[in-house]
Amino acid sequence: MARIAIVGLGIIGASFGLALKRAKLDKTEIVGHDVSYDAVVAARKARAVDTVDPSLARVVQGAGLVVLATPILTMREILGEIAGHLEPDCVVTDTGSTKRQVVSWAAELLPETVAFVGGHPMTGKDTAGVDGPDARLFDGRMYCLTPTETTPGDAVEAVTSLVHLLGAKTYYLGPDEHDALVAPASHLPLVISMALMTLVGRSSGWKDVSRLVAGGFRHVVINAGNNPRMSRDLAVTNAENVSSWIDLLVEELRGYQRTIATDEEETLRLFQDAFDAHREYLAGTLCSDAPPSAAPMPSLGQSFQQLFVGQGLLRRRGQRGAGDKEI
């Protein structure tokens, strides 16, 4: 029987398990591990995994695929702890929101007989504020894969097939490129949300202000409700890119400040430019196809897939979403 191990049973990890359960893989055992008692109870209740093992070493033994769905700064320790217990030819992947640091740790700590393929599902539901694990969480979502020049092609094929089983679309790019792109797309909005919540929430007039806040404020500060530890991890592991965008944002705000104070017509132009950019963004998001991969999409090989999920995965090769294209 094939074995897939999921380390970390929060929203992403448990949803990962449920999505694999939905795929009805033949002769495949899905095992889980988490240090949080509450996460284990929730995963068992949702039937996201077949079994839960409190031993990290035992949970990865015999697994052909290991998925790390833990906070980013715990991954180095986990990689070091599991390194000596992984099967030869095992594939390890992760779901972290930053990639350069995690890929570097994997190269440093994993044995040469084990392949690592960095991954990041763009679900928008990484931490707090969601109802619970959901087998449909990845449906139609972009799923970044960040292989390097030394990543075995069959390992990339295997994780690609897995992503398609989840219902997601693959997007290939390098670890550094990934981190550069998610900084303005995801990490800067997180920092803005938290900074605004802190600034206004700690002001002397917050009690009165809070009675008047409406949709605009709530939309901007929603990410302040994310898990602080996970938010910290993604910020510090992408600090250079995030800091550069904060500098640009401060400069942009200074420009807005000067213009609003001195020039009505120029202020209108600024707001009109933002309005037009937002409209173009929505049109592009709603109308365009999935963006092209930053690297050629691999074909779906058989031998490596059979290593960890057997024939059940191969029978589902034709069930990819319409957005997935092989080139």
User: 97 and 157, same structural domain?
Assistant: yes
Is residue 325 a part of any domain in this protein?
no
User: 162 and 242, same structural domain?
Assistant: no
Domain count, the chain: 2
> Phi and psi of 205, rounded to 5°?
-95, 10
Predicted local distance difference test score (pLDDT) of residue 131: 61
Instruction: Give me 207's structure tokens.
Output: 């009690």
Q: Report the chain's C-alpha Rg in angstroms.
A: 22
Q: How confident is the model at residue 297 (pLDDT cuts 50, 70, 90)?
A: very low
Is residue 251 a part of any domain in this protein?
yes
Distance CA 21, CA 28 (A): 9
The sign one gets for the Cα dihedral 14, 15, 21, 26 is: negative
User: 169 and 134, same structural domain?
Assistant: yes
How high is the mean pLDDT of the chain? 87
Q: How confident is the model at residue 97 (pLDDT cuts 50, 70, 90)?
A: very high
Is residue 188 a part of any domain in this protein?
yes
Q: What digits encode the pLDDT tens for the residues 62-78?
A: 999 999 999 999 999 99
Distance CA 305, CA 269 (A): 55
Q: Enumerate residues 6+ apart whose C-beta is below 8 A from 234.
A: 72, 96, 97, 98, 186, 187, 190
- Is it the case that residue 128 has pLDDT exceeding 50? no
- Is it the case that residue 130 has pLDDT exceeding 70? no
The distance from CA 218 to its chain's CA centroid, rounded to whole angstroms, is: 24
Domain that holds residue 275: 177-287
Q: How confident is the model at residue 310 (pLDDT cuts 50, 70, 90)?
A: very low
Across 67-90, average pLDDT: 97
DSSP state letters, 2-42 = EEEEEE--SHHHHHHHHHHHHHT-TTEEEEEE-S-HHHHHH
User: 166 and 30, same structural domain?
Assistant: yes
Q: How confident is the model at residue 303 (pLDDT cuts 50, 70, 90)?
A: very low
User: 82 and 181, same structural domain?
Assistant: no
Predicted local distance difference test score (pLDDT) of residue 317: 35
3-state secondary structure of 131: coil
The answer to whether residues 172 and 230 touch, using CB atoms and an 8 Å cutoff, is no
> Phi and psi of 92, rounded to 5°?
-115, 135
Q: How confident is the model at residue 284 (pLDDT cuts 50, 70, 90)?
A: confident
Tell me 170's DSSP state.
Answer: E
User: 268 and 187, same structural domain?
Assistant: yes
Tell me 144's DSSP state.
Answer: E
User: 93 and 62, same structural domain?
Assistant: yes
Residue with tokens 């605004």: 196
Predicted local distance difference test score (pLDDT) of residue 321: 39
Query: Which candidate, 16, 13, 225, 34, places its Cα nearest to that of 130?
Result: 225
User: 7 and 137, same structural domain?
Assistant: yes
Q: Enumerate residues 6+ apart whose C-beta is below 8 A from 222.
A: 129, 193
Predicted local distance difference test score (pLDDT) of residue 132: 82
109: domain CATH number is: 3.40.50.720
Across 296-322, average pLDDT: 39
User: 224 and 164, same structural domain?
Assistant: no
Is residue 106 a part of any domain in this protein?
yes
Q: How confident is the model at residue 298 (pLDDT cuts 50, 70, 90)?
A: very low
DSSP state letters, 80-127 = HHHGGGPPTT-EEEE--S--HHHHHHHHHHS-TTSEEEEEEE--S-SS
Predicted local distance difference test score (pLDDT) of residue 176: 97
Distance CA 318, CA 151 (A): 25
The answer to whether residues 15 and 133 touch, using CB atoms and an 8 Å cutoff, is yes
Predicted local distance difference test score (pLDDT) of residue 289: 52
Across 146-150, average pLDDT: 96
Predicted local distance difference test score (pLDDT) of residue 295: 41
Is residue 324 a part of any domain in this protein?
no
- Is it the case that residue 144 has pLDDT exceeding 60? yes
Across 86-97, average pLDDT: 96
User: 315 and 166, same structural domain?
Assistant: yes
User: 96 and 29, same structural domain?
Assistant: yes
Predicted local distance difference test score (pLDDT) of residue 16: 96
Q: What digits encode the pLDDT tens for the residues 42-51?
A: 999 999 999 9
DSSP state letters, 223-275 = GGGS-HHHHHHHHHTTHHHHHHHHHHHHHHHHHHHHHHHH-HHHHHHHHHHHH
Predicted local distance difference test score (pLDDT) of residue 1: 82
Is residue 303 a part of any domain in this protein?
yes
226: domain CATH number is: 1.10.3660.10
User: 158 and 206, same structural domain?
Assistant: no
Distance CA 85, CA 61 (A): 6
> Phi and psi of 316, rounded to 5°?
-105, 15
Q: What digits encode the pLDDT tens for the residues 24-36?
A: 998 999 999 999 9
Element (H, E) at 304: helix 303-308
Percent above pLDDT 70 for the chain = 84
Is residue 326 a part of any domain in this protein?
no
The answer to whether residues 71 and 147 touch, using CB atoms and an 8 Å cutoff, is no
